[in-house]
């Protein structure tokens, strides 16, 4: 991404002057392709694990029970983590806003507590905006795969 932005600045100086629009599409393409490549392994893991658990334990006669237990543990763990990510991310965001409003003693923009809150908010934003909600998608995916393939495990 950095190389692409530098290339655009180098080849088209009007971008820095504000007279020409940069090629946003190319930057979005780079980020999208990178994100999709990074999601291949986690996606395959989410799809293959219920199948693997069900088929392995089917050899012992408890395939359906094992995959049901896998789904329950995945759901419970996912909900707990998603709740943690959503709430902690929101708390860090609110803490920064609270300090910026001047209500925190010794706070305000530029203070040490504000600097710490900015660091916390930097971590909190991905927690509440991406990690928490994506776990809900994972839970639904696990449930769908398990229920669709349930006849294989009996």
Query: Mind listing the pLDDT tens digit for each residue in 91-133?
Result: 999 999 999 888 888 777 888 888 999 999 999 999 999 888 8
Same-domain pairing of 6 and 57: no
Which pLDDT band holds residue 77 (cuts at 50, 70, 90)? very high
Query: pTM for this one?
Result: 0.75
Residue 131 and residue 85 in contact, taking contact as beta carbons nearer than 8 Å = yes
Same-domain pairing of 19 and 66: no
What is the extent of the structural domain holding 102?
42-153
Same-domain pairing of 67 and 33: no
Same-domain pairing of 88 and 24: no
CA quadruple 109, 91, 82, 73: dihedral sign? positive
Same-domain pairing of 62 and 134: yes
* Structural domains in the chain (count): 2
Which pLDDT band holds residue 76 (cuts at 50, 70, 90)? very high
Contacting residues for 106 by C-beta, under 8 A, at least 6 apart: 112, 113
CA distances from 149 to 8, 9, 49, 76, 136 (A): 49, 52, 12, 21, 20
């Amino acid at each position: 991404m950095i190389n692409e932005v530098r290339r655009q600045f180098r080849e088209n100086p009007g971008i820095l002057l504000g007279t020409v629009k940069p090629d946003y599409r190319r930057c979005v393409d780079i980020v999208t392709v990178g994100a999709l490549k990074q999601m291949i392994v986690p996606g395959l893991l989410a799809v293959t694990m219920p199948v693997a658990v069900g088929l392995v334990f089917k050899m012992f006669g408890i395939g359906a029970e094992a995959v049901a237990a896998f789904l329950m543990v995945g759901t419970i763990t996912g909900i707990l983590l998603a709740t943690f990510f959503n709430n902690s991310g929101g708390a860090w965001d609110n803490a920064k806003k609270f300090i910026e409003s001047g209500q925190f003693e010794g706070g305000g923009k530029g203070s040490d507590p504000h600097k710490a809150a900015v660091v916390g908010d930097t971590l909190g934003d991905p927690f509440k905006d991406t990690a928490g909600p994506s776990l809900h998608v994972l839970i639904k995916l696990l449930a769908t795969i398990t229920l669709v393939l349930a006849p294989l495990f009996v």
